[in-house]
Structure 1
Amino acid sequence: MTVKQLRDDAVSPVVGIMLMLVITIIIAAIVSAFAGGMATGQSKSPQAKITGTFSISDGMTISHAGGDSLATKDLVFTIRDGPTFGANLEHTTETLNMSRIMVSTERGTGPMKTTFGAFYMVSFNPGDSVTIEPEGCTCTVLQPGVAPTNFVDYVDSDGYTYTGTQTAAWALCIRNQDSIGKSFILEVSDTAGHLISKSNVLIAA
């Protein structure tokens, strides 16, 4: 009579399931740690609604209409002519000079950023408004990249009536009596280039 020897080389099913669970938990922990590190390394861009008004006679007002408070040192304000000026005018983009943007607080009135690099307004908060006076909105100041080279010689003292020959360049100027009723685009971004807000601004008399 032959006795059969039973061999038990295989791991029992219970132990196999336990091993798979342990491996799954380890993998999940590694993936979670990696994803958490990525999330920590990426800074969230602030979100806000920034609007503007523009009047040839009164200048420009920029208002924080809601959303996150914005650190002034990180802000970049740009404008460019909208489609009402013509097609493909991205080259008219201009970065606003923050020393021309005026802030009114309980301490008085001063530039958002001084010529020495200090910030009169530290944070641009919901409900805040800043202004640019009409003399700071003339074409050579607000849009030096598109201003006619003979602007000074051929513009009237009002700052928005032009009698020179470079009418193509003058037509791109926002503070121009012929631009009333058109609109330009106001964009606010951070210094890293992330867009925070974009709005259309109507040009009024």
Structure 2
Amino acid sequence: MKEKQSSLNSEAVSPVIGVMLMLVVTIIVAAAVSAFAGGFADDQKETPVAQIDVQLKTEGSYPKLVFTHLGGDALDTGDLKIITYFHGYGKCGAHELSKEVLPVRKHTTDGSLDPMVPANNYDAADYNAGTGSFISNNGYPCTVSNGKPVKYWGNSTMMPGDVYTTIDKASLESVITVRSVGDDLIEVEIIHIPSGKTIFSGEVIY
């Protein structure tokens, strides 16, 4: 009689142990998935939200590209990349450009690059060949706003109200590849490098 009762108890315990093991495995898998998802979320950089206005204005005898922070989050310019596409004629140094030869000239100003590395800076040969080059925070564009100290693109924080502007023909060329423009179309994009998201995208006509 005792042997029969012991056998019944063993049979009753087995399903309980099986259910408990399944629960443990489920909890472990859920914890692993949660940890992975949390780590993945941490790797995604938050994109700042800001309203930027970009214009070509005449100040003196030459045009200037002007970036105005109208409102929103402060922007670390070291995390920003300016990409421009110039559609049209113009002059690169002493070289005349034509739509037939160079229909679109793309150029990137990368605030994350180290200006002390020569390869990151302006390369006249690249411009003359029509290939453009990456340049960094070598002072273009810069800003002087309401008596504040000069700020340089790439090593400063762009606050609401700040105005960054190219300061001469050479600095305009360093951003759009030409130093003189007519009624040509210029596309401008500002990319937040850590997240890869676009903060500004628009067309500018002088």
- After TM superposition, the score normalised by the length of structure 2 is 0.58
> 27, 30, 33: which is aligned to 1:31?
33
For 1:193 and 1:93, the matched residues in 2 are separated by 20
What pairs with 1:29-178 in structure 2 (closer than 5 Å)? 29-56=31-58, 57-81=62-86, 91-95=105-109, 98=137, 99-108=139-148, 110-113=150-153, 119=155, 122-133=156-167, 135-136=169-170, 139=173, 141-144=174-177, 173=178, 175-176=180-181
Shift of 1:38: 2.5
Shift of 1:79: 1.3
Relative to structure 1, is the Cα distance of residues 193 and 13 closer, same or farther in structure 2, using a 3 angstrom cutoff?
Answer: closer
Shift of 1:28: 1.2
Shift of 1:66: 3.8
Deviation string for 1:25-65 (max 9, x for gaps)? 22211221222223223433434343201135552211223
Identity, in percent, stands at 27
For 2:179 and 2:142, the matched residues in 1 are separated by 19
Task: Tell me which protein shows more strand as a share of its residues.
Answer: 2
Shift of 1:19: 3.5
CA RMSD after TM alignment = 3.8
For 2:158 and 2:201, the matched residues in 1 are separated by 17
Shift of 1:80: 1.1
Is contact 2:107-2:175 (8 Å) kept? no
Q: Aligned residues, how many? A: 162
Deviation string for 1:104-140 (max 9, x for gaps)? 2354452525xxx9x4xx211233221224534665x
* Amino acid in the other structure paired with 1:104: V
Could you tell me which runs of 5 or more consecutive residues in structure 2 were left unpaired when the two chains were aligned.
89-97, 110-134
